[in-house]
Structure 1
Amino acid sequence: MYWYIVHIKLERSSKLVKFFNQQNNTIAFVPKMERWYNIKGKKNYIIKDLYPDYVFIKSEMDQLEFNERFKEFFKSIDGIAQLLEFEDVYVLKTEEQILMERLLDNKNIIRHSVGNIVNSKLIVEKGPLVNLENKVIKIDRHQRLAVLKSDFFNKITVPLEVVSKS
């Protein structure tokens, strides 16, 4: 499976997702994540776009096939969207695909993880970050977020609730 990324310029992601989901051998989506909010004393997780300006496309087609099939389509929507083509982001590296597949659930949402900090070391007890503690480079306990080091967009911000710190 290959993953392609399209940068959306004019908030047309839903139309692009719909188009690619109607094609054979492609699955398109905008990845989402749970985000902690405290609005008027009401505390809860809500679902927000992880990268609102990007559409992810999964396909069995390799880069050459994908380019050949959708080359004219991307030319026709230039100005609205463009396929990322810098370095290895156009087609995600295998390690990045594995990380994204591990983080995303079957609805393409990154759910929050729950963990503790024991002796200055993060231990995740549940959620997609279990056994990925070594990738966490920063924790924001107040916003309930963790930043993972990644070649993909430099870093990935994911939801993490730290229950206790000792």
Structure 2
Amino acid sequence: MYVLQVPGGRERAAVELLQKLMGDAVGECFVPLCEVMRRKHGEWHREELRLFPGYVFLTTSDVEGIAQRLHEMPFFVRIVGGHDERYVPLSHDEVAWLQALTNVETHTVEFSEGVIEGDEVKVWKGPLKGQEAKIVKIDRHKRLAWIEIKMFGRTKVVKVGLEIVSKS
């Protein structure tokens, strides 16, 4: 699995163009999302946000062919990790983490629920269950959690949906 950097906000357009221009050379091509709760007109609604803004994930057996044809795209696109004419795929651990946290069919980190007991966060529902050690910050009012992960060869902090239903 490889990662492409694209202009922010153009991720979905990039996915559609890659599938159209590259055809069978592209296996799976997607933008990972996360479910969050947003308040609109006094009511909470679920929304999907990009987990990694500015990045598109794809599987291919012909990364060199894809790299050579990226200039056909109408906007800037580059393969992340490409240096010295080599393109480095995501590591096994990065792919495993992504697959463990996201719904495999929709590529979405679904909303999680949990409680705070003393100084400890305990998630009892959702993909963050068992991942409590990776949580670095929680905003109970906005129903968000920031988790620290290793992705693209560096440590990143991404926000995901987490509702804390009680605190004791």
| TMscore range, shorter length | 0.7 to 0.9
Residue identity (%): 27
Give 1:37 deviation, angstroms. 0.8
Alignment length, in residue pairs?
158
Q: Which runs of 5+ in 1 are unaligned?
A: none
Residue 11 to residue 125, structure 1, CA distance change in 2 (3 Å):
closer
- 5 Å-filtered alignment, 1:86-165, equals 90-105=88-103, 106-152=105-151, 154-165=156-167
Which residue is equivalent to 1:80? 76
| Partner Cα distance (2:100, 2:109) in 1 | 9
Which residue is equivalent to 2:52? 51
8 Å contact from structure 2 (residues 112, 125) kept in 1: yes
Q: Which runs of 5+ in 2 are unaligned?
A: none
Give 1:20 deviation, angstroms. 4.2
Give 1:90 deviation, angstroms. 4.8
Given the two structures, how large is their TM-score scaled by the length of structure 1? 0.82
2:81 is matched by which residue type in structure 1? E
| Partner Cα distance (1:137, 1:33) in 2 | 17
| Partner Cα distance (1:11, 1:148) in 2 | 22
Once superposed, which parts of structure 1, at least 4 consecutive aligned residues long, lie more than 4 Å away?
Answer: none
| Partner Cα distance (2:9, 2:44) in 1 | 29
Residue 40 to residue 90, structure 1, CA distance change in 2 (3 Å):
farther
Given the two structures, how large is their TM-score scaled by the length of structure 2? 0.81
- Give the RMSD, CA atoms, in angstroms: 2.4
